[in-house]
Structure 1
Amino acid sequence: MNCATGICGPREQCNGAGGEPPANLAEFTFQGNAADDFYDVSLVDGYNIPVLIDAIGGEGNCRRAGGCFTDINEKCPGNLAVKRDGRTVACKSACMAYNTDHDCCRGAFGTSDKCKPSETSRMFKDACPQAYSYAYDDPTSTFTCRNANYVVQFC
């Protein structure tokens, strides 16, 4: 396997660890609170390829997570772009690029009332409104469903 971004060493499987950012993540917690599944597509660690999650059947707030209206890599600012052979293959999050408490929602900015979306996370959210764009984006980006099957598409 030869990936431009999101790899976890020379293996295809990460054994529970996330791939090397920048990469979007399909995140699941199965049978969490009240036996609900929680799921989202996260761009908190950046964006590399379109990802979406569809819940098939099930009960509750079973909605599509992820999916983008535009390709973030095409509109990624140069200082956030990860390039291979002259082509943008991923877009860093503000946290990854600048590593500040403000952009990473930590320290004095480590609570939902202090941490607000950065310009980069707003760009991600505009392109992918059903994706998680910064650390406290739960209300619009985390979905719950019970007794569903899931289809994860990488396209």
Structure 2
Amino acid sequence: MVWPGILSSAGSTPLDSTGFDLGPGESRSFQASPGWSGRFWGRTGCTFDANGQGSCTTGDCGSNQMSCNGAGATPPATLAEFTIGSGSNPQDFYDVSLVDGYNLPIAVDASGGTGVCGTTGCVTDLNRMCPNELRAGDGQACKSACEAFGNPEYCCSGSFGSPDTCHPSVYSQMFKSACPRSYSYAYDDATSTFTCTGADYTITFCPTSTSQKSSTDSSVTPSTGTTNTSPMIPKATQPGDDPNGSSWLPSFTIGGSSTQIFNNTLTWMLISFIVFCNLQL
């Protein structure tokens, strides 16, 4: 089971839910209005009673409910972030971020759009290669160096608050090596932000090499099974590889990572969630 959470940024029309549950292979779809921005993440190890009260081991939003009700994920959590186009700026911007740490694999596929429309995400189980000093709890999640140590050079804060002064650390480079298309630190824009126009997006939690959709698939119908397409995301380094690194940002801007992202697109966006929980979480 994964319990996705949704946080819409200020000024965006909220989606139909702020939190729900998904079993292995299940899916759920939402429509986002032009100009919408926000983030999605998966909560794990959740327990809710008959009244819907409870909490989660990772990614908990602190609402004490299944719905997050405007609250974001408690780090560490893997984030999928979007800014949907509108008006004169038709491009959508999207990314998968490890800036707030990592709790489970996520893949994002775009279909039916124009432009580069690449597949992005982090399909590696980083919990298995997380350094001891970054481990959260019993190893169910991996902290960012900023959260673990609080140093300005890891958080890109204070005198390190610019691209010229904040550089990859040994920890963020380890994440980047494992998941080269994901944000590993605040100014990791060049290889981590993706664009597309007029697309539908599928967010897959716990993807496998046989469950991930191809970025060229034109279907917008959520899948509840697996496909035979190969993953479009580069394979990760293996546990035991030496870490390399980068720094972290404590307050990650909704829908825009560390980059300035503009509102764009005249069409509605369909966002689908698929869970393939085949990992030991």
Q: TM-score, normalised by structure 1?
A: 0.91
Matched, 1:4 2:57: yes
| Structure 1 residues 55-100: Cα deviation after superposition (integer angstroms, max 9, x where no partner) | 11211221111133x321001111110133xxx1000011111111
Alpha-carbon distance in structure 2 between the residues aligned to 1:137 and 1:89: 25
Alpha-carbon distance in structure 1 between the residues aligned to 2:71 and 2:179: 24
Alpha-carbon distance in structure 2 between the residues aligned to 1:78 and 1:127: 17
Equivalences for residues 113-152 of structure 1 within 5 A: 113-152=164-203
What is the aligned residue count?
Answer: 151
**Match among 31, 43, 53 for residue 85 of structure 2:** 31
Q: Give the structure 1 partner of residue 154 of structure 2.
A: 103
CA contact (8 A) 1:51 1:154 kept: yes
Instruction: Measure how far apart 1:13 and its partner are.
Output: 3.0
CA contact (8 A) 1:71 1:127 kept: no
Cα 1:19/1:31, change in 2 over 3 Å: same
- Structure holding more helix per residue: 1
Alpha-carbon distance in structure 1 between the residues aligned to 2:110 and 2:104: 20
Q: TM-score, normalised by structure 2?
A: 0.52
Matched, 1:81 2:140: no
Alpha-carbon distance in structure 2 between the residues aligned to 1:31 and 1:130: 21
Matched, 1:64 2:119: yes
3-state SS, counterpart of residue 140 of structure 1: coil
Gaps of 5+ in 2: 4-45, 47-55, 207-281
Instruction: Give the % identical residues.
Output: 56
Larger Rg: 2
| Structure 1 residues 103-153: Cα deviation after superposition (integer angstroms, max 9, x where no partner) | 001111111111101111101111111111100011100101100000001
CA contact (8 A) 1:21 1:46 kept: yes
- Structure holding more strand per residue: 1
3-state SS, counterpart of residue 97 of structure 1: helix
Instruction: Measure how far apart 1:16 and its partner are.
Output: 4.2
Gaps of 5+ in 1: none
Q: Could you tell me which amino acid in structure 2 is paired with residue 89 of structure 1?
A: Q
**Match among 35, 39, 42 for residue 97 of structure 2:** 42
